[in-house]
Amino acid sequence: MSRSRRKKLTRLLLWLCYLLLTALAFRAAASLQRLLPGYSLRFAAPVTAAQARALREAAAEGDFEPVFWGLRQGAAADGGLRCVQAEELLVWGEPAGAAAPGQLTDGGWPSAKDLVGCAVSDSLAWKLWGSGQAVGMDLELDGRHCVVRGVFADKTARVVRQQPQERGETPFTAVELLPRGQNTSLEQAQRFAQGAGLVPSAAADGPALAAAASLAALLPAAVGALWCAARLFGQVCRPLSPAQRQLLGFALLLALALALPALLRLLPPALVPARWSDFSFWGQLWRQMEEGVQRWFSLTPTARDVAAKWGLLQTALSSAGAAFLLLGLWKGAFAKEL
C-alpha cells in the first residue's frame, strides 16, 4: 500500500472515530435529560403528610409537577420459594420514572392510581424468574401483593411502586419538581417548595446539568459540521465565477436564516436566552451550570445520582475525544495545504 493511500485510510478511520464519539456523546446527553428532568430537592427528615398534600395542592395551578420518592429495604418474593432482598423505591406522582435510576426495557411505570402495580429492575427479574420478561408476573413485597407492570435497566435488585402519602407515613426524603414551562429556575422551585413548608437541605439543578451535557455534545459536532460545509462550499465554488459565488453564498445565508428557528428548537431551553441582546445571559449561564454541578456533587449519592454522574462522565469523555480527533484532522489538513 502506498504512503498516500495509507494517509487517506488513516484520515477515514479518524473521521469514523470522530463520528462514533460524537454519537456516543449525544446518546449520553440524551440519557442525562431522562435522568435529570427536573429540580431535585432533598430533605434531612421525611416529608410529613400535611407538607406533601400542601405541595400537591399548590402544584394544581403551579409551574411544577412534584414526584415524591424515598428508599427503604424490603424482601421481594415470586410467590414461591425464591426470595430476594431488594431496595424499594416508593414514589408518589407521575411519571414514576422521574425518580428511577434506569430506563424502561419492557412495559411501563405504575401510574399514581395503580396501587397494585410495580416496576422491577432487570437484575431482580432475573433473580426471581430467570428472565428479563417479567411483565404480568405476581410479586410479594413484605407480604404485599403486586403485579409487575414494567422492567427497567438496573444492576441492583430494586422495585419501584406508588405509595400515596394518604396510605401512611412513608419515607419520602426527596421530591423531583418537573417544570411545566421553559422559563423556570432552581430558585423558583425552592420558593415553590418553601410555600408548602418544605425547606430542602440540598438541591440539584437537573435542567442546567442536562443543558451543560447537551452543550458539551453539541460543540464538537457543530464545529465538525461547519468545517465540512466550508470545505464542500469551497469545492463547489471553484468552477464558478465571482458573481455566481456571491449568489450562491447569499442563497446559503438565506437558507440558514430560514432554518435558524428550527435549529434553535433543537437546543435545550436553558441555553436559549429570552433576549439575544442580553449579553450578560452567557456569563450567568456558565455560573449557574458551575454552581449546579457543585451542588449536585455535594449531595449524598443515590442510585439515580450515580447513573447520572456516569452519564455526565461519558458525555465529557466522548466530547473531549471527538474534539481532540477533530483538532488532529484540522492540523493534518492545514499542514497539507501548506
pLDDT digits (tens, 9 = 90+) for 81-140: 788 888 999 999 888 888 888 889 999 999 988 889 999 999 999 999 888 888 999 998
Q: What's the mean pLDDT in 37-65?
A: 86
Task: Note the pLDDT of residue 275.
Answer: 66
SS3 category, 295: helix
Q: Indicate the average pLDDT of the chain.
A: 82
Mean pLDDT (whole number) for 264-281: 64
Cα distances (Å, whole numbers) of residue 217 to 60, 263, 272, 294:
36, 15, 16, 20
> Cell 427479574 identifies what position?
125
Q: What is the pLDDT of residue 337?
A: 46
Q: pLDDT tens, 295-317? A: 777 777 778 888 888 888 899 99
Q: How confident is the model at residue 10 (pLDDT cuts 50, 70, 90)?
A: confident
pLDDT of residue 67 exceeding 60, the answer is yes
Instruction: Give percent helix, percent strand, percent coil of the chain, each to the nearest 5.
Output: 55, 20, 30
**Can you point out the beta strands (E) in 153-254?**
158-162, 174-179, 202-205
